[in-house]
Structure 1
Amino acid sequence: MTIWPPNPDDLRRPAYRSLAEALISAVDAGELRDGDRLPTHRNLAYDLGLSVQTVSRAYDELIRRGVIAGEVGRGTFVKSGRSDTQTPFLPDGRYGELIDFSLLKPVFEPMHLNMMRRALSKLGGDLPASAVSSFRPSGVLRNYTTSALKWLKRCGLDVPSQGLLLTNGNTAAMTVALMTAAGTGDLIVTEELGHHTLRPLSRYIGLRIQGLEIDDEGVVPSAFARACEKSVVKAIYLMPTGLNPRAATMSMERRKELVRLARLHDVLIIENDAWGPLQPNRPEPIAALAPERTLYFTSLTKCIMPGLRYGFLVVPETYQSAAANRHLVTSWMVTPLMAEIGSRWIEDGTSEFLLDWQMKALGERNRKAAAILSSTVFNCSENGMHIWLPMPGSWTEDAFVAHARLNGVALAHGSSFELSDSVNKKGVRICLGAETIETMERGLTVVSRLARSNPEPPLLTL
């Protein structure tokens, strides 16, 4: 079936968005290639029975998203390749009636909104002056240290308050950790399929990134050893507990071996534990094994509530001053209102209640996903927010994502997470938390049918 040019009858309202999505699907499927010249606004409008303004708006949207480029006097062309800033999720939310499996987020229901409303209402009556008057990070830290350390203990870390920084979520903590661990031109190694923002963030602050071979547990120790023997490695960035794209959890034996190699080659460890205690029976964090060289971060955002941007960065004693300075220049300090709510919830048990609820909700979704995809090979973790579907049969990532999109389902390209030029583990990430459970089941049914089919079958509909 030809994706481009689209059938005018297949365009939904708003037409400019539907037209933009059709062109993106054509690029993903290989029907439009790098450098291909696109029709003029007027010609495409005539062919599709649209107004010139509608086509112009679609082209403007595609230019903004970096998919096409206009050249004065020459026309409009498909731009080359995905950039380092390519995100795996839909950048502007869902278009039309898409079931969005592209965005990694916890399950969110009206209960969560009501609990936040109650928290804000209570704050209106007993808000401490420090929450709105604090201007010194040290003052804010003093107010919320006890509860933060309590949550870290729930994550498996018993640490002194001196090594703690409160952050505006995981991204802020990740930025400070990278800037503390390495300087301009230094080499960071990580999983070859890893965090999708790690490459652009490292580039912005002048770091070099090298992806290492992975297996079903994560980084292969021999690959880490070879990288250290070949070059000076400043830090290894790891997501050892289900968070990585392939939903892999690293065994205690693997963690100990990577720690041994890090000590042998004097390499720092950056541990992204954004899900915190979401996974049951998980091994203790790497930071508990090597506190002298591990910069560890987690938050309440992924496992409690998406809008609660409140995180914790634990830093070895030697690097505490440097980390505090990096935090000052990038964020100054955690937003006190978020810290106030997060701290109250940790102290009064709300966070524990919401964590338990989230574990049960994600556990149920993973069980339903396993049943629907029972005839398909996939990777998952017990209470994980996503599953990894290796490309079945002769499917390519681009074709599978494009066909799913045309059937109303948005998936995340595995290539969005590639941090090496030689990755051969092709697949798609399917996130389970963003939709209702009924919508999730409908979308997974489409994915299951596609996975059992050939790349050129008649397209299915929801």
Structure 2
Amino acid sequence: MTTWPPDPAKLMRPVYRSLASSIAGAIDSGKLQPGERLPTHRELAYQLGISVQTVSRAYEELIRTDLVVGEVGRGTYVKDPASDHRAPPFQRIDGSERVIDCSMLTPVRGALHDTALTSALREMSRETPPADWFSFRPRHAYQSHMQPALRWLKLCGLAPHPEQVLPVNGATVAMNVAVMTAATSGDLVVTEDMGHHTLKTLARIYGLRLTGLACDEQGILPDALDHAARHHGARVLYVMPSGNSPRTLSMGAKRRTDIVALARKYDLQIIENDAWGPLEPDRPPPLAALAPERVFHVSGVSKCLMPALRFGWLVVPQPHVTAAFSQHMVTDWMANPLSADIVSRWIADGTALKLLNWQRDMLARRNALVRRHLGGLGVWSNPHGMHVWLPLPGHWDETSFVSSARQHGVAVAPGHAFETGVTRSPHRGVRICLGGPNDAELAEALRLVAWLAQNRPGPEFLTF
């Protein structure tokens, strides 16, 4: 480390932030390589003439932003984001510091949710038959929930046969079951070049090959899918077509028709992640409505109604119903009846639609805030989206931008956390989630992000 550590005379107050920024810069420039061991707290404190506590705080900042990792008994090491498949895009925030969390994808929450949940639990304590709580038979437990499920799926643009609808503990479980059913070990799964952050790990666990395909503003390019199927034998397409991909890509009606035509031509199975459900109104029909014989449709309510309700549905193509239900039974057995009953009640009595419309209104307001503060920076968004994508100007890289934002009290997600290929995506940027903060906090966070994006990294950021 001949050009590092930094010159003590250039450290500014607060020193721990300045030191953390210097280390982040050394990582970004390649002066500190992935896997390289940093000096111990005491060693670095002695070299720089500062306190051990100051070094500890700087290292803690870097750990929180996933730039380094501390290993008990071994020391502190530079992380390799490209090879760390387990690292989530969201940051660890423990409540000991004031950080506006725009890294975690969550819906807006209000008093309406508290009232709805309290009311539902009170009614359930009086009315729910004991058999619903004590049944270990999935089909029996969910018979009364099927009609509400079909009503919700109709809002999503689907009209499946009841036998195709599998209740699950949220979209993540649905995604897992769909992958296990649609693909076998060694198959090539193709997806957006920046897609779902857990898909890479899931593919590795099941011995699948995963490739990210080139995209435009509407998602996967048909030519890229055709090439992957024709020349590389792709078997499964995993796609997020309704604005919920990291870069908020939304497929138009013709693009969806083109993708389905290619899937039929090459006999591809499609997994359609529609976890936001009907949050975005007036969208084109889902892929599952266009090709029900080959599309696994994933939906849930935790994003558009309430995070605690880890509940959703997997609509399974008729030829795969038996296999998918068997896969679910051996991995998750059955969905939580308590969540299923709450969701079913809310759909039946109109509460779900009320919460959905409220969420749409709140997200429309927050996207208006984004346009006000980030409108001139090329931000990608949807009118009712839960997050936006900010492309970074050339003078910023993702790691240093995320680190600088965190040091100023705002947590955002780096683009590389969503890369699905083996090479770096050309789309450098950060995902900014809109649901967690209140309106005032979000406005403050967006002002900070805008200011950072329009300036160059350096010590001056410590005085914002």
Q: If the length of structure 2 is used for normalisation, what is the TM-score?
A: 0.90
Post-superposition offset of 1:140: 1.9
- Segment of structure 1 superposing worse, 39-48 or 223-232: 39-48
- Segment of structure 1 superposing worse, 80-89 or 192-201: 80-89
Alpha-carbon spacing, 1:324–1:35, altered in 2? closer, same or farther (3 Å):
closer
1:432 aligns with 2:424: no
Answer yes or no: is the 8 Å Cα contact 2:81–2:416 preserved in 1: no
2:433 counterpart letter in structure 1 = C
Task: Write out aligned runs for 1:357-376 (5 A).
Answer: 357-376=358-377
Partner in structure 1 of residue 357 of structure 2: 356
1:257 counterpart letter in structure 2 = D
Partner in structure 1 of residue 292 of structure 2: 291
1:369 counterpart letter in structure 2 = V
Task: Write out aligned runs for 1:93-112 (5 A).
Answer: 93=94, 96-112=97-113
Post-superposition offset of 1:144: 0.9
Alpha-carbon spacing, 1:424–1:345, altered in 2? closer, same or farther (3 Å):
same
Post-superposition offset of 1:120: 1.6
Alpha-carbon spacing, 1:96–1:152, altered in 2? closer, same or farther (3 Å):
same
Partner in structure 2 of residue 383 of structure 1: 384
**C-alpha separation between the residues in 2 aligned to 1:220 and 1:112?**
39
Alpha-carbon spacing, 1:311–1:25, altered in 2? closer, same or farther (3 Å):
farther
**C-alpha separation between the residues in 1 aligned to 2:20 and 2:309?**
31
Q: Deviations over 1:282-337 (max 9, x none)?
A: 00101000000000010111111111111010001110000001101111000000
2:200 counterpart letter in structure 1 = R
**C-alpha separation between the residues in 2 aligned to 1:405 and 1:271?**
33
Post-superposition offset of 1:423: 1.7
Alpha-carbon spacing, 1:141–1:126, altered in 2? closer, same or farther (3 Å):
closer
Post-superposition offset of 1:247: 0.7
Describe the SS at the equivalent of 1:209. Answer: strand
1:260 counterpart letter in structure 2 = A
Post-superposition offset of 1:221: 0.2
Answer yes or no: is the 8 Å Cα contact 1:99–1:439 preserved in 2: yes
1:317 aligns with 2:318: yes
Q: Deviations over 1:402-425 (max 9, x none)?
A: 221222111110111111215211
**C-alpha separation between the residues in 2 aligned to 1:58 and 1:403?**
14
Partner in structure 1 of residue 340 of structure 2: 339
1:101 counterpart letter in structure 2 = C
1:351 counterpart letter in structure 2 = A
Answer yes or no: is the 8 Å Cα contact 1:87–1:416 preserved in 2: yes
Answer yes or no: is the 8 Å Cα contact 2:12–2:18 preserved in 1: no
**C-alpha separation between the residues in 1 aligned to 2:221 and 2:293?**
22
Partner in structure 2 of residue 326 of structure 1: 327
Partner in structure 1 of residue 78 of structure 2: 78
Answer yes or no: is the 8 Å Cα contact 2:271–2:296 preserved in 1: yes
Post-superposition offset of 1:143: 2.3
Describe the SS at the equivalent of 2:143. Answer: helix
Percent identical among aligned pairs is: 41
**C-alpha separation between the residues in 1 aligned to 2:18 and 2:327?**
44
**C-alpha separation between the residues in 1 aligned to 2:28 and 2:97?**
20
**C-alpha separation between the residues in 1 aligned to 2:297 and 2:340?**
19
Task: Write out aligned runs for 1:132-151 (5 A).
Answer: 132-151=133-152
Answer yes or no: is the 8 Å Cα contact 1:104–1:386 preserved in 2: yes
Partner in structure 2 of residue 15 of structure 1: none
1:448 aligns with 2:437: no
**C-alpha separation between the residues in 1 aligned to 2:43 and 2:269?**
57
Unpaired runs of at least 5, structure 2: none
Partner in structure 1 of residue 14 of structure 2: 10
2:412 counterpart letter in structure 1 = L
Alpha-carbon spacing, 1:412–1:184, altered in 2? closer, same or farther (3 Å):
same
1:168 aligns with 2:172: no
Q: Deviations over 1:340-398 (max 9, x none)?
A: 00000000000000000000000000011101112211110010001111112422112
1:375 counterpart letter in structure 2 = G
Post-superposition offset of 1:113: 2.4
Alpha-carbon spacing, 1:235–1:408, altered in 2? closer, same or farther (3 Å):
same
- Segment of structure 1 superposing worse, 436-445 or 101-110: 101-110
Alpha-carbon spacing, 1:338–1:327, altered in 2? closer, same or farther (3 Å):
same
**C-alpha separation between the residues in 2 aligned to 1:409 and 1:173?**
32
- Segment of structure 1 superposing worse, 256-265 or 413-422: 413-422
Post-superposition offset of 1:401: 1.5
Post-superposition offset of 1:205: 1.7
> Of residues 446, 457, 460 in structure 2, which corresponds to 1:458?
460
Partner in structure 1 of residue 425 of structure 2: 423
**C-alpha separation between the residues in 2 aligned to 1:143 and 1:323?**
21
- Segment of structure 1 superposing worse, 104-113 or 236-245: 104-113
Partner in structure 2 of residue 411 of structure 1: 412
Structure 1 vs Structure 2 CA RMSD = 3.0
Alpha-carbon spacing, 1:359–1:246, altered in 2? closer, same or farther (3 Å):
same
Answer yes or no: is the 8 Å Cα contact 2:392–2:430 preserved in 1: yes
**C-alpha separation between the residues in 2 aligned to 1:133 and 1:449?**
56
Post-superposition offset of 1:67: 3.4
**C-alpha separation between the residues in 1 aligned to 2:352 and 2:391?**
35
- Segment of structure 1 superposing worse, 196-205 or 21-30: 21-30
Alpha-carbon spacing, 1:100–1:27, altered in 2? closer, same or farther (3 Å):
farther
